[in-house]
Amino acid sequence: MIDIRPFAGLGGATHGWLKARHHFSFAGYHDPARVHWGQLRVWNDDEIAPGTGFDPHPHRDMEIVTYVREGAITHRDNMGNVGRTEAGDVQIMSAGTGVVHSEYNLEPITTKIFQIWILPDRLGAKPKWGSKTFPKAAREAGFEVLASGRPADANGGTLSLNADAAVLAATLKAGQTLRQPLAAGRVAYLVPASGAVEVNGKKLNTRDGAAIRDETELVVTATEDAELVLVEAAA
């Protein structure tokens, strides 16, 4: 089953400095049919104006992954972490028992991100933050694991999550095809950060979402050059 969720039909809000689209219920947007997808709870498509951002605010018991599509995001938290994550790279924050953080666009251009929240396997973990550079050449025509808590990815050089889930990315040239298995009892959510693809024969355009379950394999063919982000998680 593949449910295509067109970008134009997503929930969202515009706050002047922030243009946000929500693949799942979030803040003032609520759709009882789109509350979560397995352990995936939030997928926000955010555009943050230069010199603005999210002021310090708290989180707890959530795995928060930020995938930067354009520009850069600068993080600061009450654990003493400070970091800048650029386009194509990833930061994670395991909120655990509680953390207060800010996220600012200190760049001269609009920063565009996917903010992904994943429900943790256990509550009350120790908070942590991390950021890592992932050269796009390593994900050409195949998914690279960026962040994961799946046992199979332990010690694999990925950012670590407190959830049996993974965030992956791939780049495809027009006409290229990749195959990605999906085990029983798992779900996936696929979004092209750019470009367009067909997934198991269904069209998926830039920033559309595809909610996937009960498929043993994903066959993804690029109809134009594409950058893909995928979450795979327990159902």
pLDDT for 187-233, tens place per residue? 999 999 999 999 999 999 999 999 999 999 999 999 999 999 999 99
187, amino acid identity: V
CATH architecture of 2-234: Sandwich (2.60)
What tokens appear for 234 in the block?
A: 């327990």
Distances (CA, A) of 213 to 42, 76, 179, 197: 17, 36, 15, 18
Stretches in the chain below the pLDDT threshold 50: none
CA distance linking residue 75 with residue 131, whole number of Å: 10
**Whether pTM exceeds 0.85:** yes
Instruction: Identify the DSSP state of 125.
Output: P
